[in-house]
Amino acid sequence: MLNSTLDKVIRTTKSHINELSFMGINTLEDLLLNFPWRYSDDGEFVTVDCLNTFEPLSCKGTLKNVIGTRTRTGKFMLTCKLVDETGEIDLMFFNQEYLKRILRNGVEVVVTGKVKEQGSRKKMLSPKWEVFNPNKPLVHSGGLIPVYNQSGKINSKWLREKIHPLLEFTNLLKDPLDSEIREKYKLMDFNEAVKNLHYPSSQEDLINARFRLGFEELLYINLKNLVSKQYQKLECSFTGKKMDIDLYNIDDFLNILPFKLTNAQLRTIAEVQDDLSKDRSMSRLLEGDVGAGKTLVAAAGIFIAVKSGFQALIMAPTEILANQHYKGFVKLMTQFGMNIQVLTGSLTAKQKEQVKIGLKNGLIDIVVGTHAIIQDSVDFRNLGLAVIDEQHRFGVNQKAFLKKFGKPHVLAMTATPIPRTLALTIYGDQDLSILDEKPAGRKEIITRLVPESKRQESYYWIESQVKAGRQAFVICPLVEDSDLIESKSVVSEYDRLREVVFPNLKVGLVHGKMKQNAKDQVMLDFRDKKYDILVATTVIEVGIDIPNSSIIVIEDADRFGLAQLHQLRGRVGRSEHQSYCFLFVKSRSENTRTRMKAMCDHSDGFKLSEIDLELRGPGEVFGTRQSGIPDLKMASLSDTKLVKLTQEAAQEIFDMDPSLEKFPILIDRMHRSIKEFDL
C-alpha cells in the first residue's frame, strides 16, 4: 500500500500528479513523508465581537446575504456576511467563481483572517475558510495548521485536503529504530511522529515529533560518516604510501623558518606526521582561521612526502591563488633541492606538456595548480600526498582523480571557520585538525559599525589613508541593481565612487560575472598598486594577499553571514599597518544589531561562526551554495546537544553491527535521507 502510486490513492488530475512528481512525491509513502515547513497557529475560535485588526483569528458562524457579482473589469467577486450570536462581519472573495457552489446562505463555516475596519463595520478580505461539519475534524483552521512547500497548482490547502484523510496509513510505516534506542533516548514512535508533524495534537506533541525526526536525520549523517570512515580504512590499508618520518626529521624544515610556529601548528604537524607514518592513507581536514598558518602545516607534510621519495600536489580553487602558493613554496622548498612547478589553464600547450612529462618521469617533486591538474592526461610517477586548498570548492572529480594514483594521503584545508560539533557532522568521515591560534605579533583589525550620518566623514578618512600610501576594498552584495532586492550593486557603486566620491583616486572593479582571467588581472593590478580602491563582490573572499590594503568597507553587511564577513575582513590586516573594517547596514532589527556587535567585539572566526549558527542556521552561515551542508528538514545543526546525542547513538548502533545488516529498515531510510549513501 505504501508504495502505491498517487493516481491509485487520491482523486486528482494528471497535471496535479505530474506536479507532485516534479516535487519528488510519487507514492503514498512519499506523500506521508512530505512534512510541513512551518505551522500557522489559528488557536481557538473567537466570537465576531472579539475579531480585531492586530492579528489573524478564527471565527465560526453562519453565512447570509451571499451575492456573486462582477467588477467593472469583469472579474468575479463574492460578498457575504458571517453571523454569530455576538454580531456580523463582511467577507469578500475574489476570482474564485467556484465558491458560489459551496458558500451559500445558511452554510456554517470557519474563517481565519485579519480584520479591516471601515467606519463602524468589520470586514475580512479573502480569508481562509472551511465548511464546518460537527462530525468531521477541521483541516484548515482551529489549532496548529500545517503549511507545506508549494509548487505550481500544488498549494498548502490542496495538500492538507489530500494528506489529512490518509493519516490512518501512517500505521503501516515501519520504525527504523528499535525499541531499545527509542526508550534510551525518549523518542516518540515513528508513525506517531509522522502524524503529529502533519496535525499536532498540541505544541508539546509537535516538539516531540520534531525531536524524533531531527534525531533520525542527524543519526543517519553520523552513521554514514562512520561507515565511510570504515570503508576508507579498509580501502586505504596497505597502500604502500607509508613515509619514513624518523629518517627525515621535521626539525630540518622547521629550523629554516624565520619565525616560531604556534602550539596549534606544532600539534597539527605532529598529527599529520603520525598519519603519514601509517600504511593507510590520511584523510584529514585542516581548519584554520584567516592567517592561522595552514599553508605551513601543509608545507611540513609535503617536506616529509618528498624527502620520503614521493611526489606531492597542491590544488587551489583559482589560478591567482595557485600562483601565490607556487611562489611561497618555491621560497621554502628550493633550498632543499626540490623541483616545484605550476600547472594552470593559462600555460601554453608546450609548457603544460613539459610539466606533465616531468610529473610522469618523477623529475618534478611538487606541482601546484588548479582544476588543470584533474585531467586524464596528467600522470604521476609516485604521488604520495595531495593538499586540497578550500576543499568545498572541488567536487567528486577530484576524489576520482586521486583514486587512480593508489589513494595518496589527502590533506584538505579550509579557511571557513566551522564549530567543531558542526565540522564533525559535515566532515565526519575525515579526521579533523583545528588551528585555533594566530601567530604572535598580528594586529587586530579595528571593526566599526558606521552610521549613515558618518558616511561622508568615513570617505574623507579613507582618502587621507590612501594618500598616505594605503589601499582599500569596498564590498557590495550584488553585481547589478535589482528591482527585487534593495541593496547596493557593485557596478553602480563603482560608478558612484569613481565619478562622485573619489574622482582623484584610481578605482577598480571586480565581480563574479567577469571571466576568470579578467578577474585575476584586476587583482594583480590592485596588488601592484595600479588601483587605490577596489570595488568588489565576495569574489575576493578567497584571493591573493594584498599586504598594502588596510581598509575594507562592507556595504549592506547585514546581508552576509558572520563567517563570510569574517572571511572578507581577512582580506586586510596582512602587514604591519593597522587595518580597519567599516560595516554599513540598512536593517535596524535586533538580530542585525546583535550580529554586527559580534563582528565588532570578536576577531575569532570560530566564535563568530558559533554565534551565526545560533542566530541564522548553517545554510545562512556558509551560504546557500556551500557544498557539504546537509539539507535538514527537522534538525538544527546549532543544537549541539542533539548533535552529540546522535553521535553517541550512531556509535552505539555501529558497534553492534558495523555492516548495519541487522537494521534493514534503518538502511532503507538512510538511502532515502542521504541520496549519496551507499553501503
Q: Is the pLDDT of residue 255 over 80?
A: yes
Instruction: Give a yes or no: residue 359 inside a domain.
Output: yes
- Give the pLDDT mean for 173-189: 92
Q: How confident is the model at residue 625 (pLDDT cuts 50, 70, 90)?
A: very low
Point out the domain boundary residue: 553, 579, 602: 602
Mean pLDDT check: name the lowest of 83-97, 160-174, 202-216, 232-246: 232-246
Of the candidates 301, 255, 259, 258, the one whose C-alpha atom is nearest the C-alpha of residue 281 is 301
Q: Is the pLDDT of residue 484 over 50?
A: no
Q: Which 8-state DSSP code applies to residue 4?
A: -
* Orientation angle between helical segments 203-236 and 640-656, nearest 10 degrees: 50
User: Residue 210 corresponds to which amino acid?
Assistant: R
User: Hey, what's the cell of 268?
Assistant: 597539527
Answer for the pair 341, 388: CB distance below 8 angstroms, yes or no: no
Percent of the chain having pLDDT more than 90? 34
pLDDT greater at residue 99 or residue 675 = 99
Point out the domain boundary residue: 89, 112, 142: 142
Q: How confident is the model at residue 78 (pLDDT cuts 50, 70, 90)?
A: very high
Q: How confident is the model at residue 616 (pLDDT cuts 50, 70, 90)?
A: low
Instruction: Give a yes or no: residue 125 inside a domain.
Output: yes
Residue for grid cell 553571514: 561
CATH number (domain holding residue 576): 3.40.50.300
Both 456 and 572 in a single domain?
yes
Both 542 and 478 in a single domain?
yes
Both 366 and 269 in a single domain?
yes
Q: Is the pLDDT of residue 536 over 90?
A: yes
User: Hey, what's the cell of 101?
Assistant: 457552489
pLDDT greater at residue 181 or residue 230 = 181
pLDDT greater at residue 202 or residue 653 = 653
Q: 3-state class of 424 per DSSP?
A: helix
Question: CA torsion sign, 99 to 100 to 101 to 106?
Answer: positive
Question: CA torsion sign, 385 to 387 to 391 to 396?
Answer: negative
Instruction: Give a yes or no: residue 12 inside a domain.
Output: no
Answer for the pair 224, 425: CB distance below 8 angstroms, yes or no: no
* Rounded distance between C-alpha atoms, residue 130 and residue 136, angstroms: 12
Predicted pLDDT at 69:
92
Answer for the pair 210, 197: CB distance below 8 angstroms, yes or no: yes
Q: Is the pLDDT of residue 489 over 80?
A: yes
Both 214 and 261 in a single domain?
no
Answer for the pair 366, 338: CB distance below 8 angstroms, yes or no: yes
Both 219 and 256 in a single domain?
no
* Rounded distance between C-alpha atoms, residue 74 and residue 77, angstroms: 9
Predicted pLDDT at 191:
92
User: Hey, what's the cell of 186?
Assistant: 525518549
H helices then E strands: how many in the chain?
A: 22, 23
Instruction: Give a yes or no: residue 113 inside a domain.
Output: yes
Q: How confident is the model at residue 235 (pLDDT cuts 50, 70, 90)?
A: low
Q: Is the pLDDT of residue 626 over 70?
A: no
Chain segment 365-383, per-residue pLDDT in tens: 999 998 888 787 889 999 9
Residue for grid cell 571557520: 417
Instruction: For residue 555, give every residue at least 6 positions away whose Cβ sits within 8 Å of its Cβ, in sequence order, or none.
Output: 474, 475, 476, 477, 487, 488, 493, 584
Q: Is the pLDDT of residue 228 over 80?
A: no
Question: CA torsion sign, 509 to 514 to 517 to 518?
Answer: negative
Helix (H) / strand (E) element for 11: namely none
Count of the separate structural domains present in the chain: 4
Instruction: Give a yes or no: residue 623 inside a domain.
Output: no
Instruction: Give a yes or no: residue 479 inside a domain.
Output: yes
Q: Which 8-state DSSP code applies to residue 213?
A: H
Q: Is the pLDDT of residue 221 over 60?
A: yes
Helix (H) / strand (E) element for 366: namely strand 366-369
Instruction: Give a yes or no: residue 194 inside a domain.
Output: no
End-to-end CA distance of the chain: 27
E strand residue ranges, 401-516 = 409-414, 431-435, 446-449, 471-475, 507-510
pLDDT greater at residue 235 or residue 30 = 30
Q: 3-state class of 211 per DSSP?
A: helix
Q: How confident is the model at residue 627 (pLDDT cuts 50, 70, 90)?
A: very low
Both 305 and 360 in a single domain?
yes
Instruction: Tell how far CA 210 is from the center of its chain.
Output: 21
Q: How far is CA 620 from CA 89, 121, 147, 623, in A?
A: 43, 45, 22, 5
Instruction: Give a yes or no: residue 86 inside a domain.
Output: yes
User: Residue 305 corresponds to which amino acid?
Assistant: A
Mean pLDDT check: name the lowest of 230-244, 357-371, 601-615: 230-244
Both 560 and 526 in a single domain?
yes
Both 311 and 390 in a single domain?
yes
Chain segment 92-150, per-residue pLDDT in tens: 999 888 898 889 899 999 888 888 887 778 899 988 888 887 767 777 666 677 888 87
Instruction: For residue 307, give every residue at least 6 positions away whose Cβ sits within 8 Å of its Cβ, in sequence order, or none.
Output: 247, 248, 336
Mean pLDDT check: name the lowest of 166-175, 513-522, 604-613: 604-613
Helix (H) / strand (E) element for 65: namely strand 57-70
Both 585 and 642 in a single domain?
no
Of the candidates 235, 280, 222, 285, the one whose C-alpha atom is nearest the C-alpha of residue 677 is 222
Both 401 and 461 in a single domain?
no
Sheet containing strand 409-414, strands side by side? 340-343, 366-369, 311-315, 383-389, 409-414, 283-288, 431-435
What is the 3-state secondary structure of 559-620?
A: HCCHHHHHHHHCCCCCCCCCCEEEECCCCCCHHHHHHHHHHHHCCCHHHHHHHHHHHHCHHH
Predicted pLDDT at 437:
82
* Orientation angle between helical segments 203-236 and 664-673, nearest 10 degrees: 90
Predicted pLDDT at 435:
87
Both 483 and 515 in a single domain?
yes
What is the 3-state secondary structure of 484-548?
A: CCCCCEHHHHHHHHHHHHCCCCCEEEECCCCCHHHHHHHHHHHHCCCCCEEEECHHHCCCCCCCC
Instruction: Tell how far CA 176 is from the center of its chain.
Output: 28
User: Residue 370 corresponds to which amino acid?
Assistant: T
CATH number (domain holding residue 97): 2.40.50.140
pLDDT greater at residue 658 or residue 365 = 365
Predicted pLDDT at 653:
92
- Give the pLDDT mean for 48-72: 86
Predicted pLDDT at 535:
95
- Give the pLDDT mean for 538-565: 85
Other Cβ atoms less than 10 A from the Cβ of 433: the count is 24
Helix (H) / strand (E) element for 212: namely helix 203-236
Residue for grid cell 616531468: 358
Both 398 and 465 in a single domain?
no
Q: Is the pLDDT of residue 160 over 90?
A: no
Q: Which 8-state DSSP code applies to residue 305?
A: H
Domain of 117, in residue numbers: 43-142
- Give the pLDDT mean for 534-559: 86
User: Hey, what's the cell of 416?
Assistant: 571557513
Q: Is the pLDDT of residue 541 over 80?
A: no
Mean pLDDT check: name the lowest of 241-245, 446-450, 477-481, 527-531: 477-481
Mean pLDDT check: name the lowest of 51-60, 361-370, 479-488, 558-567: 479-488
Answer for the pair 279, 260: CB distance below 8 angstroms, yes or no: no
